[in-house]
Structures are given as structure tokens and as C-alpha cells.
Amino acid sequence: MGGDIRKKGKVEKAMEFVERLKKVQEEAGAALEKAQEKMKRYADKKRKEAEEWKKRDKVMLSTKDLVFKEKPVCKLAERYVGPYEIEEVVLSNVVKLQLLSLMRIHLVVNVS
């Protein structure tokens, strides 16, 4: 009988521990949801709707990330090159362009 009493006490403490963990988990989940809503609200302040691109629209490419064989002087280099025609709209912010083969960049680019 003595062994049964000790086991019962351990089970009760384990159940209390489980209940405490469940409560902590619920509180943490509520805090995460609140933080997520707050971050979304701040992120949405700076967001705007993406432009609707159509086939045959003309766009300019930024030279900021383009690599050239001969590095031009940065302050004298053109900031944008183009215009290039949109061949296909892949996603709302991804288009396929008609580019020159000399440019050696991927035809599908992100439009931002």
C-alpha cells in the first residue's frame, strides 16, 4: 500500500506540471499572435499594390546589380538601361523580357 500512495502523489504532480505547461503554451501562443499582428500592421504601412504589367509593356532595367566586363565610372554610368519589352508575365512581380544576348542576364526578372 505504501508504494501506491507514493505513485499517486507522483502522478498528481505530473498532472499539475502538464496543466502548467498547457497554460504557459497558451499564453505563449497568444503573445506570438499579438506580436504577429503588430508586425503585420507596421509592414503593411509601407506596402503598396504592385503595378499591373501586360505583354508588350516597356520597362527599364536598373544597372545597380548588373555586372559589366569593363567597369564604368559609377557616377557617370547610366542608372537604367532600356526600354525592354515584356514578352510574358510570369507572376504579378515577375516578367520575362526580350533582352539582347550580349547582356548575359536571365530573361526572367523581378519587377519592383
Domain boundaries, the chain: 1-47, 58-110
Cell numbers 499594390 correspond to what residue? 49
The rounded distance, in Å, linking the Cα atoms of 106 and 80 is 17
* Residue 7 confidence class, pLDDT cut points 50, 70, 90: low
The rounded distance, in Å, linking the Cα atoms of 106 and 19 is 56
For the segment 27-60, what is each residue's pLDDT rounded down to a tens digit?
999 999 999 999 999 998 888 776 788 888 888 8
Greatest distance between any 2 Cα atoms in the chain: 92
Regarding predicted confidence, which is higher, 60 or 72? Answer: 60
Position 9 scores a pLDDT of 66
Q: What is the CA radius of gyration of the chain?
A: 30
